[in-house]
Structure 1
């Protein structure tokens, strides 16, 4: 039997693993649940390392699920984005590599890798497993795992990893963005957006989002202003730590409408990933409700300034 405290910590860690492998929060949660059910049925006296047993089980379950999960993405309109997750749900994030490994930007890139490449990269980079352990999880040779890891890191080497500011800097820039977008302040938006800023928006048929990325400040600014003006219901905005960074929340009538994840470099926003698919927002909405009872909004003084 796993002690309760160890069970809770381990479950969060395993969810972080499954989420990195799948990019879908509810499927990641289901994989972890299935792994624990298997553990309950297993001959637990035959293993002295429950953590390793469960890690292998979750990894194998995720690899089995990945093909079916990817097939469902044909329903999405526009570029695919992962379902966002509150940072507190993702387990230990004590290193820069661990925080980067749950960013929406990296998860999108990992979606282009093979399942085994993705698994080796995640297990090695985010969890620090040696190749021998990874080989045991994946039923491959250590040499093969090493090759898969180096192949993946080469493909990711030129992705232009930005230097993210600290939390205070991220919050400040997000609040400046909200002030400008609510006021329709074109100059204010131009001041905080990089010249080559890109917007990716992931929605479904009933949610109006751009079908292709919007690239360049000259096109992004009018797109953002026009998108905000199309919203008929009163919208309340808030900030939350999502995928190890600061994200903007938009809610109306108690319903979460969108999570906007800025990517920052050199003090400016170089990318905005907008997740507006209702199904993908359920996990964040449930997490916020469990924590606060509602979707958090900016305090009254800041909302007046907006």
Structure 2
């Protein structure tokens, strides 16, 4: 492959990766899809490809659809132990973030809700909401009619809107204050302080550090507060499981304020908070090692702020 063809693919790599991540919810799987697309680009007769960007988008989308439709993936995700892979603010895989729709499409809440869509609905929704493709182009990518594209997007948007409350656009200072209050309450031993920080209909979801067979869901403020308090109570057993004493950092993951737990330079857990009306509406706790692979890579490539709790 000549350098011009290689450069053309590399110029599209980040966009393709952000598309694949939104479709699959997994950075690892997204990277695999982009690599498979690269192999196809290498062997394609590029003299017959009029618009490389459209060709590559179609290839990556269909690779992702094949994976979403596979029996193995359907079984893994139907088992109820799956959460999206969190990404650090600034990761190019997060993709476009100019509009509210683009930012929402990469939130952990929306990525989780998209699991309930059919693969075609998910692809049409992502192409339209996150990448602003016209329905005619979506139809060509998915090999459907333009009216079918409109219907898929409408159904997907209606379902997601019905089940997801749009996040407040929280400025960095406010986000940090909310997380600091959360950490203070979580480590104080007083669940009443945690309850006061939560909305009346708050929810919390955790992967149980990858040890539970199913996701753990909590749906009342009192239960969430008890769960958070238990999770943030330091014990020798937790330190042994994590590999040593932890430090807790405040950052942003998938556009939301978050707490990241680190041992030396290794991320061992993350909690994201979705805020509305100055209170916490949703929490996601992720500690399964295979969900933290890319976050670990990007974490070690940037200079984090000083930990708010140096030794936990």
TM over 0.5, shorter chain: yes
> Counterpart of 2:162 in 1: which secondary structure?
coil
* Cα pair 2:247 2:310 within 8 Å, conserved: no
User: Do residues 134 (structure 1) and 138 (structure 2) align?
Assistant: yes
**Structure 1 range deviating more: 22-31 or 218-227:** 218-227
Q: Distance in 1 between matches of 2:227 and 2:213?
A: 10
- CA shift at 1:226, angstroms? 1.4
Q: Look up the match of 2:285.
A: 274
Instruction: Describe the superposition over 1:37-93 as per-residue Cα deviations: whole angstroms up to 9, x where unpaired.
Output: 21111111212321111111100100011133333336664xx31111223232221
What is the correspondence of 1:121-270 to structure 2 with a 5 Å cutoff? 121-159=125-163, 160-203=165-208, 207=211, 211-229=215-233, 231-232=235-236, 233=239, 234-270=245-281
Instruction: Describe the superposition over 1:106-152 as per-residue Cα deviations: whole angstroms up to 9, x where unpaired.
Output: 01111000000000000011000011111111111111111111111
Question: How has the CA–CA distance of structure 1 residues 257 and 231 changed in structure 2, closer, same or farther, with 3 Å as cutoff?
Answer: farther
Question: How has the CA–CA distance of structure 1 residues 83 and 46 changed in structure 2, closer, same or farther, with 3 Å as cutoff?
Answer: same
- CA shift at 1:195, angstroms? 2.5
- CA shift at 1:264, angstroms? 0.8
Q: Distance in 2 between matches of 1:120 and 1:8?
A: 24
- CA shift at 1:304, angstroms? 7.2
Question: How has the CA–CA distance of structure 1 residues 91 and 177 changed in structure 2, closer, same or farther, with 3 Å as cutoff?
Answer: same
- CA shift at 1:253, angstroms? 4.4
What is the correspondence of 1:37-116 to structure 2 with a 5 Å cutoff? 37-66=39-68, 67=70, 68-73=72-77, 77=81, 80-87=82-89, 88-89=91-92, 90-116=94-120
> Counterpart of 1:55 in 2: which secondary structure?
helix
- CA shift at 1:230, angstroms? 5.5
Q: How many residues align?
A: 297
- Specify every segment of 5 or more residues in structure 1 that has no aligned partner in the other structure, as ranges: none
Q: Distance in 2 between matches of 1:17 and 1:92?
A: 10
**Structure 1 range deviating more: 94-103 or 236-245:** 236-245
Q: Distance in 2 between matches of 1:157 and 1:267?
A: 21
* Cα pair 1:262 1:273 within 8 Å, conserved: yes
- Specify every segment of 5 or more residues in structure 2 that has no aligned partner in the other structure, as ranges: 240-244
- Measured on the aligned residues, the alpha-carbon RMSD in Å equals 2.4
> Counterpart of 1:183 in 2: which secondary structure?
coil
Q: Distance in 2 between matches of 1:209 and 1:168?
A: 37
Q: Distance in 1 between matches of 2:153 and 2:250?
A: 35
Q: Distance in 1 between matches of 2:278 and 2:154?
A: 31
Q: Distance in 1 between matches of 2:22 and 2:310?
A: 38
- CA shift at 1:254, angstroms? 3.8
